[in-house]
Amino acid sequence: MKLVLEIVEGPHRGARFEFAEHDVFLVGRASDVNLGLTQDPHFSRRHFLLEFNPPKCLLQDLDSLNGTFVNDKKVTRCYLEDGDVISGGRTRIRFSRELEAHSETICGSSADIGTDFGDLPVVVAERPHFDPGLNALDTLPEMPFLPSYDVLRLLGQGSMGMVYLARQQSTGAQYAVKTILPEAALTERVMNLFLREVSILSRLRHKRIVRFRDMGMSNGIFFFVMDYVETINVRQVLAPFKERVRIRAIVALICQVLEGLAYAHARGFVHRDLKPANVLVGWRGTKLRAKLADFGLAKNFESAGFSGLTFDGDLVGTCAFMPPEQVSNSRDAKPTSDLYATAATLYWFLTGEFPHDFSLRSNPLAVILEQDPVPIEKRLPGFPADLAAIIKQGLAREPADRFPSADEMRLALLPYSQREAAAVQDDD
């Protein structure tokens, strides 16, 4: 299936756009939008955003001055239906769905997929299996059967799915298992392609990156077995220390994150979803260490058309660490996008607040696109000016104004880290 936009009235009449996979489409009069309606003064610079995820399309008004209308009704956020007309000023844009030839789909809830992915095992599940000695397992959401694992407990729930702790029966080793339920009906080819693309991530073998161990799909649910990291609340653990010590310890952890990014970027991988929840910090003896989780998973999930960043219910939590260019062109994230997200994550660990003030606008995506981050000195009076300048550079709106590489950003931060102290683990 492909989704189609066609301008049927107005100065730009006749323009047509087609979308067969996940994409975002920014409309307005600014120079960086995807559809520039420069001849219709009704539109704001960045008026509304469309996120295509066939067969779905989500429209979000970006706090435009004159509003966005669907079928002549003013909207702020809605899913479009076949034949809906988006309007404003003299412009009317028709949305439609078109079936492509031989586009046979299968319902994700009935597909069991298993494919040979080389050195990465893929498990095909058949029936549920839980450790009978554990309590309250009947309260857990249903989980695919992994023949060689026992589910121990629920670890948490993220924007993409549930995470469980599981024990490998043959070794007794514990792993984290993430489960993801696709939103759309899928073809077997698409599901196999997605698993194949994610399996490539197993090549990332670095002490600062959580490694994928195996994966598969059962009853419409993808599952990914990864190294388990027992995590701590960084801000809570460091709260009793003086601010100077807290700053140095947090910067040291971010330097570890940048080590992992430098390794991955050198091999052509971009994380695309770097945020505090994906920076796993735990103890190694008496020292702290950081590892990056879910490397590249969001990118491959979106590219396959299963879901998108802004489909998540918590818009602020989803986009708070996202650079502006990823909002308007999510398919073309670069290493500098990860560096912005790293600076935003450092900002959050230091302050407990997002870099942007999301109270300024009703739509958080509009804040990311239109507003500059709040200087960290305003959150933390007396914060070191030189370190604040590094964070400001990392959060630069234009990618070219950020650090050119993870290594260079790490080198800039090293003087402010606590590498020599016992609080942070430098080597695994």
Beta-sheet pairing, 35-36 with 23-28: parallel
Beta bridge partners of 221: 218
Helices assigned H by DSSP within 96-172 = none
Cβ contacts of 347 within 8 Å, gap of 6 or more: 353, 354, 355, 373, 376, 391, 395
Beta bridge partners of 209: 292
**Token pair 């900002």: residue:** 347
H helix or E strand, kind and range, residue 167 = strand 162-168
Cβ contacts of 42 within 8 Å, gap of 6 or more: 66, 88, 89, 90, 91
Active site residues: 273
Cβ contacts of 139 within 8 Å, gap of 6 or more: none
* C-alpha–C-alpha distance, residues 248 and 177, integer Å: 33
CB hemisphere CA count around 12 (13 angstroms): 24
Cβ contacts of 249 within 8 Å, gap of 6 or more: 238, 241, 288, 418, 421, 423, 424
Chain centroid to CA 84: 29
H helix or E strand, kind and range, residue 97 = strand 91-98
Q: For residue 32, which of 395, 335, 332 has the smallest C-alpha distance?
A: 332
Q: What is the Rg, in whole angstroms, of the alpha carbon atoms belonging to the chain?
A: 23
